């Protein structure tokens, strides 16, 4: 009983002078008298903490973040495979050359391996194929991210391409939202209808469950504006899907769920 009272007095004294670290050490020494109880800022404590963080990081890094999604409708047949921890390789055969070119930007600048194979009702127009590629790619992102444990979650990038300057900010929040601020001056780039840029990102956002903001700060050339957008999106995505070693194994939300 005397030991208990002495222990309580020590705790009260330590807290009273603002030494919560000392309080932890006192509690530890009382509960385990012969244990070596490191102070929270001691080298031993930091080594133990870092080992735990590295262990969690290694476990997260070893988990493959690869997904394959196959979507078939009466209008299109699309299959997408992505590897979030890839090297930026891309195989894109959508039947829409400009969209293939943009998918290469996502892969190359996002360091995401992407394989997209699509067949669509091109005899009508490119709308259905363009949208369904966005849907399927979004589903693949959502599947590859899984519960999103350990990811940085947020990404932001400002990409120039000659006179064009586009900013993309995104959040893999689980809440789909698109804020689209491009002013593309021409109806087409080659054979590609520039209205389809928004349709692609809307489909991608809704099915990846991300929040995406796109802002055009400058630009007069349609090709440059669109390509800068895809490059900025790729780099922002790369930042957001990286594993944070200090948050490895944890949901990146104060609520504990996304």
List, for the chain, all residue ranges whose pLDDT scores fall below the cut of 70.
1-62
Are the CB atoms for 239 and 201 separated by under 8 Å?
no
Residue 43 burial (CB count, 10 A): 9
What is the per-residue DSSP string for 26-42? Answer: HHHHHHSTTS----TTS
Question: In the prediction, which pLDDT does 244 show?
Answer: 94
Residues 141, 133: Cα–Cα separation, whole Å: 12
pLDDT tens, 87-145?
A: 999 999 999 999 999 999 999 999 999 999 999 999 999 999 999 999 999 999 999 99
Task: List, in order, residues 6 or more apart from 23 with CB less than 8 Å away.
Answer: 11, 14, 15
* Domains of the chain in sequence order: 66-241 (3.30.230.40)
Please, which residues bridge with residue 177 across strands? 211
Please, which residues bridge with residue 92 across strands? 116
Question: In the prediction, which pLDDT does 41 show?
Answer: 54
**7-36 burial string, b = 16+ CB within 10 Å, else e?**
eeebbeebeeeeeeebbbbbeeebeeeeee
- Quickly tell me which residue has 């120039």 as its tokens: 160
What does pTM read for this prediction?
A: 0.77
Question: In the prediction, which pLDDT does 25 show?
Answer: 52
CA–CA distances in Å: residue 51 to residues 55, 67, 74: 6, 30, 53
């Amino acid at each position: 009983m005397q030991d208990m009272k002495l222990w309580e007095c020590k705790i009260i004294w330590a807290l009273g002078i603002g030494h919560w670290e000392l309080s932890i050490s006192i509690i530890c020494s009382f509960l385990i008298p012969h244990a070596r109880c490191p102070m929270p800022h001691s080298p031993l404590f930091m080594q133990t903490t870092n080992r735990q963080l590295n262990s969690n990081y290694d476990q997260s890094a070893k988990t493959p973040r690869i997904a394959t999604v196959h979507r078939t409708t009466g209008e299109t047949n699309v299959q997408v495979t992505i590897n979030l921890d890839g090297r930026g390789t891309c195989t894109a055969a959508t039947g829409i050359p400009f969209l293939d070119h943009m998918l290469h930007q996502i892969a190359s600048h996002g360091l995401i391996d992407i394989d997209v194979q699509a067949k669509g009702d091109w005899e009508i127009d490119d709308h259905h194929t363009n949208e369904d590629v966005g849907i399927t790619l979004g589903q693949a992102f959502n599947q590859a991210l899984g519960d999103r444990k350990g990811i940085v979650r947020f990404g932001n990038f400002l990409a120039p391409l000659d006179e064009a300057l586009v900013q993309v900010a995104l959040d893999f929040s689980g809440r789909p939202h698109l804020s689209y601020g491009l002013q593309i001056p021409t109806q087409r780039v080659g054979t590609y209808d520039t209205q389809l840029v928004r349709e692609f990102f809307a489909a991608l956002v809704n099915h990846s469950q991300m929040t995406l903001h796109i802002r055009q700060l400058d630009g007069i050339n349609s090709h440059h504006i669109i390509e800068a957008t895809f490059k900025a999106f790729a780099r922002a995505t790369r930042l957001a899907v990286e594993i944070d070693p200090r948050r490895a194994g944890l949901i990146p939300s104060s609520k504990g769920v996304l």
